[in-house]
Amino acid sequence: MRVYVLNGPNLGRLGTRQVDVYGLTSYADLVTMCVDTGRELGLDVVVRQTDAEHELLGWLHEAADEGAAVVLNPAAWSHYSIAVRDACALLRAPLVEVHISNIHAREEFRHHSVVSAVATGVICGLGVDGYRLALRHLAARPAPEAPDRSA
């Protein structure tokens, strides 16, 4: 199963950005962890990060067209991007929203995610382990049935 792990703005700065909030794991280490975890679970994991909203939208459209599952950390776009939310709503496979920090324990403007309403599940506040848990969840889900094309 193909799984896209997509990351929004500023996540490329992991390991140096607000380490008291986001930890010391670098973005490169996060990528390695996700790919290695996926391999262990039999998943084909593709990890991407962007600071450009239109690029994330394109990747979500690509996942929707492929029927691929998505682990998404929309970062700041979680709180206000209707465009990201609407692209997520196009997905046909599961979507797990991940936040490294506990968005509910931070500034009030971070408490609400417009993406959560269209996500299969949400993991927040567990650091980068949230990505591992999201991948494990997706690997444990029953494989979707292939459409019957005999008719």
* Per-residue pLDDT at 74: 97
* Per-residue pLDDT at 150: 54
Q: Is 110 among the annotated ligand-binding positions?
A: yes
Q: Is 44 among the annotated ligand-binding positions?
A: no
Q: Is 100 among the annotated ligand-binding positions?
A: yes
For the chain, the domains span 2-140
Q: Is 101 among the annotated ligand-binding positions?
A: yes
How far, in whole angstroms, is CA 35 from its chain's centroid? 13
- What residues of the chain score a pLDDT lower than 50? 146-147, 149
Sign for the pseudo-dihedral over CA of 98, 36, 58, 146: negative
Nearest Cα residue to 71 out of 49, 103, 101: 49
Phi, psi of 136 (to 5 degrees): -60, -40
* Per-residue pLDDT at 137: 98
State if pTM tops 0.75. Answer: yes
What is the rounded CA–CA span in Å between residue 8 and residue 81?
Answer: 11
Catalytic residues: 22, 99
* Per-residue pLDDT at 23: 65
The dotted CATH code for 2-140 is: 3.40.50.9100
* Per-residue pLDDT at 147: 46
* Per-residue pLDDT at 143: 65
What is the rounded CA–CA span in Å between residue 39 and residue 24?
Answer: 24
* Per-residue pLDDT at 112: 80
